[in-house]
Amino acid sequence: MKNSGIAAALLGLLCLAGSSAVFAQVKGVYWTTSGMFGPFPITGLIPTVPKDRQRDVTIPVSMWIIDHPKGLVVFDTGNNVAVSDGNCKSYWAAGLCDFLKPSQKRSDVIDEQLKKVGFSADKVKVVITSHTHLDHVGNIAMFPNAIHVFQKKELYQGWWPEKFQGRSTPGTFVMGDIMPAREFNYLELDGDYDLFGDGSVLILSTPGHTLGHQSVKIKLASGGSIIMSQDAIWMQENLDGYPAGLNYSVQAYTNSVNRLKFMRDLEGAQLFMAHDQDQYAAKGGRWYK
């Protein structure tokens, strides 16, 4: 009797210890953009879009701020600050500037976006980067004291992209983005990862667009989940079966699109895409809690 009483007390303590993890919930997730790209024809990105759905698009360059009790997290840092205020050609290849038409203002850059919602860049504990393309890894150098989370393969890709992905720099990979960050602290992953060990911020391996692309899934305090695909899924047309026109592996890309789609459907999660004009217009620039 006495023993079972002790056992019950111990069990109670264990339950309490377990529940503390439940309370370490994400306080909020803010969706913002590093200016816009466009307008340009959608077929410049997705060549197989059929005639009746072809149009010019002006797309966001999605970045995310995740407020977690164990640390402030940024997911993707947008276009390099040097691209701001019409100075694109001083930093990116002229052809990319002409095609993408970035409209980034200095106030759109991640450090200013953090300020806008009450944080300073030096308070960021973790920077997760989906992949090493110019519109996602652009400002990691602004976070010298953060832990930088990449798939290890993506670091290989960033430093030495295959020729067909554009090895010349500046191209879609810009050495100036990663060079100043070479000696930073890197958490180098090979697959999925539970960032704070409480299931609230899950990093999902979603290769295909690049060799080591990754997405993030967040469990919100309200109970719902959101998936930030970043470039695993650019926009609605990709969900509708028209593949992105820029891929390291179309097979891996297709698997990743399907993985996130099924996750959305089975879990009832919201799926947010990196570059969807209509979705950002309806749901961007706000907190999710």
How far is residue 173's CA from residue 135's CA, in Å, rounded to a whole number? 9
Q: Name the residue nearer to Zn ion (CB basis): 23 or 164.
A: 164
* Closest to Zn ion by CB, 135 or 237: 135
Pairing verdict, β 185-189 and 286-288 = unpaired
> 71 or 166, CB closer to Zn ion?
166
Structure tokens at 43: 């077929």
CB of 130 to Zn ion, least distance (A): 8
Cis amide linkage into residue 41, ω under 30° from 0: no
**Minimal distance, residue 4 CB to Zn ion, in Å:** 59
The distance of closest approach from Cβ of residue 49 to Zn ion in the complex, given in angstroms and rounded to an integer, is 17
- The DSSP string of 238-284 is HHTT---S--S-HHHHHHHHHHHHHHHHHHT-EEEETT-HHHHHHH-
CB nearer Zn ion, residue 189 or residue 235: 235
135 or 154: CB nearest Zn ion: 135
Closer to Zn ion at the Cβ: 111 or 135? 135
Q: What one-letter code names the amino acid at 232? A: A
Residue 198 or 231 having the CB closest to Zn ion: 231
The length of the chain in residues reads: 289
In the complex, the smallest distance separating the C-beta of residue 148 from Zn ion, rounded to whole angstroms, is 18
The residues with which 276 forms a beta bridge, in sequence order, are: none
**Nearest distance from C-beta of residue 275 to Zn ion, angstroms:** 6
C-alpha dist (Å) from residue 194 to 79, 212, 218:
27, 17, 10
The tokens describing 288, both together, are 């999710």
Distance CA 202, CA 186 (A): 17
Q: How far is the CB of 231 from Zn ion (least distance, A)?
A: 4
Nearest-10 Cα torsion for 107, 108, 111, 114: 100
Kindly list the residues in this chain that would bind Zn ion in the complex (CB under 5 A).
Answer: 135, 231
Please state the closest distance from residue 258 (CB atom) to Zn ion, in A: 20
